[in-house]
């Protein structure tokens, strides 16, 4: 179903972080941007669709009034809003927002760090654009920061703090199907496997809490009102977002899941884990019977690689890309 394409070389290897790959497709310019985190650097590659041209950029973890920052980066993710695309980088010190090509930093938000070191680490992780003008970012205290983003310029403001989780946020995802009928449009996950389902707006509303079972939910997605959650057990669970009903449970991987992704137009689901496997599944939602089905379609073994990022490169799932710990390349697969 898929075959391996030529890999894209990156300047540094990928760190062992959840969801350590982000992809942005720029159709008018026939380009795709990729970002991969290595320690305190984000490796950014711009690749032309014909595979002939690549340009590289490295973004450092930044702090105001500090020449070089040693702050470790936790995640880099593209956020697509109707009026603009931004690249959001989270670290132990704060949250940086850049224009999508990485050229200009438009916003910096410092995290509250205790003056005396505590047992609790401080960091931000879990990034998602939601609705027309919000970007949500999770932090280690369990709070979710909601930023109001104007259609242009740098007048980004912190509009709300959602305090429902008690453990560190691992991932945040918005409804990706584009459907206006879905009540829930944001889901957040934490280190204890707990999920919170939200409705965005001028004031965010908590719609549902789906309890965890003391096992980290490392990656989460929301598609057509269905929450797709990947866990440290290697399991994938499918919940109805608003009611929390468990539709399906799959023992998908032998080890810790690091990344999930959904191709919204086709319902293809990508899962990647420490067991060196990337699997492609197909989700079917039948509103009439209120049922959700998952079927296995394909898998690829990336030999001797602890996979830490996997993303579709387009909305149909025609191609996907994979990163692995200590690997200085982005591996690509395309449908045959």
pLDDT for 119: 66
DSSP 152-188: SSS--EEEEEEE--SS-EEEEEEB-S--SS-S--EEE
Q: Does 67 have pLDDT greater than 70? A: no
pLDDT for 114: 74
pLDDT digits (tens, 9 = 90+) for 241-291: 999 999 999 999 999 999 999 999 999 999 999 999 999 999 999 888 888
pLDDT digits (tens, 9 = 90+) for 109-129: 999 877 766 668 899 999 999
Distance CA 279, CA 303 (A): 14
Distance CA 168, CA 124 (A): 9
- Chain CA centroid to CA 315, Å: 15
pLDDT digits (tens, 9 = 90+) for 220-246: 999 999 999 999 999 999 999 999 999
Confidence band (pLDDT; 50, 70, 90) for 312? Answer: very high
Q: Which two tokens stand for residue 172?
A: 């945040």
Q: Does 134 have pLDDT greater than 70? A: yes
pLDDT for 317: 98
pLDDT for 246: 96
Provide the whole-model pTM: 0.96
Tell me the domain boundaries of the chain: 2-111+122-335
pLDDT for 70: 76
Collect all residues with Cβ–Cβ distance below 8 Å to 6 and sequence separation of at least 6.
51, 332
Domain 2-111+122-335: CATH superfamily is YVTN repeat-like/Quinoprotein amine dehydrogenase (2.130.10.10)
pLDDT for 150: 97
Tell me if residue 28 falls in helix, strand or coil: helix
């Amino acid at each position: 179903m898929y075959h391996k394409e030529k890999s894209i070389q990156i300047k540094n290897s990928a760190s062992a972080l959840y969801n350590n790959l982000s992809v942005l497709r720029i159709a008018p310019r026939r380009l795709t941007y990729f970002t991969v985190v290595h320690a305190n650097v984000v490796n950014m590659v711009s690749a032309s669709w014909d595979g002939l041209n690549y340009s590289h950029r490295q973004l450092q973890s930044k702090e105001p009034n500090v020449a070089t920052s040693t702050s470790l980066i936790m995640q880099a993710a593209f956020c697509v809003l109707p009026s603009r695309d931004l690249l959001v980088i989270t670290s132990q010190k704060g949250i940086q927002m850049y224009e999508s090509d990485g050229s200009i930093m438009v916003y910096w938000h410092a995290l509250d760090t205790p003056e005396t070191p505590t047992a609790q680490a401080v960091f931000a992780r879990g990034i998602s654009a939601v609705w027309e003008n919000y970007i949500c970012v999770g932090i280690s205290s369990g709070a979710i920061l909601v930023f109001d983003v104007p259609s242009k310029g740098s007048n980004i403001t912190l509009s709300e703090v959602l305090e429902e989780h008690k453990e560190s946020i691992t991932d945040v995802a918005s409804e990706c199907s584009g459907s206006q009928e879905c009540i829930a449009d944001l889901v957040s996950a934490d280190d204890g496997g707990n999920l919170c389902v939200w409705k965005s707006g001028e004031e965010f509303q908590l719609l549902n809490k789906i309890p965890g079972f003391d096992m980290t939910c490392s990656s989460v997605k929301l598609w057509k009102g269905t929450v797709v959650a990947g866990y440290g057990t290697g399991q994938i669970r499918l919940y109805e977002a608003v009611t929390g009903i468990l539709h399906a449970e799959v023992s998908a991987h032998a080890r810790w899941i690091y990344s999930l992704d959904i191709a919204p137009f086709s319902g293809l689901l990508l899962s990647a884990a420490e067991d060196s496997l990337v699997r492609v599944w197909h989700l079917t939602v039948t509103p009439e019977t209120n049922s959700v089905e998952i079927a296995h379609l394909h898998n690829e073994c990336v030999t001797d690689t602890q996979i830490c990022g996997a993303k579709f490169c387009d909305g149909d799932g025609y191609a996907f890309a994979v990163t692995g710990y200590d690997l200085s390349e982005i591996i690509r697969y395309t449908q045959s």
